Structure 1
Amino acid sequence: YFHGLDIGDEGFVGDFNISRVSFMLFRIMKTNKLKALVDFPCTSTLSWMPQLVSVLDKEISGFFYTCVILEESDDSRVRKAFGAEYELEVLHFPLLTRPQGNVRFPPCDLMFSWYTIQFWNIHKTWNLITLARKVSKYFLVTSSPGYNNLKINSKMNNTAQGSVNLRSQPFLIDVPEKTIGNITRKNSSTPMQQLLLWDISTMKRIRGKFPS
């Protein structure tokens, strides 16, 4: 039985316990009988997602993985990470500009976004939340507990510097279905992160409606 990737320094890659993260992602897929996983963006998981996709491919019948890139220039880099033998589905989908051509986003069971919104502005993060609510059944995303977002909240274009809390203003998303902690190395310079899982059908805000 899979207990997480055997990777890095006792399961840690940098300041993150990727062994635990990979196990929890695997368990969420298996427990909820999910098949279609979207990694948004996959450039943030290249050091470990190819190994996990290999496991999911074997363990989940009909498993399908989509690797989203925000810049077309990342295409060759992500394909190289997965290897020529894997038929990787790569989707170029810039969030803040209309994609070139008639690119439609595929429906999926789980949209996963790993340690990325922590470096975006609020407008871009809202766009990701809106997209997840339109195309996915579940949304799994990193969030920074206890952070009040004031520095990025003062201007919509202010870019986050490693912390964003989806439970705080201006997002105010209600209690997630699952909160996964113990993924950040203790006493590290990286702000503590959690993984929050929402079932889109029951996802709501503490106050106000979601942007459409």
Structure 2
Amino acid sequence: METSLQTNDFFTVIRERHAVKHYDPAHKLSEKEILELLEIAGTAPSAWNLQHWKFMAITDQAAKEKLLPIAYGQKQIVDSSVVVAVLGDLQANLNAEDVYAPAVKQGLLTEEIKQNLIGQINYTYANVPNAPRDEAIRNASLAAMQLMLAARAKGLDTCPIGGFDSAKFVEAFNVPSRYIPVMLITVGKAASPARPSSRFPVERTVVWNSF
């Protein structure tokens, strides 16, 4: 997909990404620009390459107004260019055939290996407690982070939001039971800078080899 926004140095992107709460409501993103960001987000890694995410792009102002009370009145919901609801796939094991069949067709996998992989996946989803939910949240979160970095690289701002009523979101936006809301991400142009936030020194967050 053709790049439509300027990109920046990766480490600059990392350092400059902050959670922005105040957006310019006049700034719009085209469908093409949103799809470009979501395509990049979808290149994130995932367990067994099952791609355990579904993105709901909320651009319609009426839909944002509906979402506003569900997100406890956070004004960034209605002022941002788009709100992306990142959903985790509780039945990502059903993606396995579509993931591996092309590799078999290209001669990269044998049919036997494909069937073994699918068997492992289905066994895990059927027998390992919490595996479907854990994998849905873990892998969708990787895509969410990649979305935020892609947006910053293109001069946009984001904020991940966990503060919303998941049950009401599912009901209001007709989310199938296959998916679990992981987070909302607002994307747009900052109207004012993000509030500075500190980070612990790396020495505090690293343990070498064992506790």
Do Structure 1 and Structure 2 share a fold, with TM-score over 0.5?
no
Larger radius of gyration: 2
Tell me the TM-score normalised to structure 2 length: 0.24
* Larger RCO (CA within 8 A; separation ≥ 6): 2
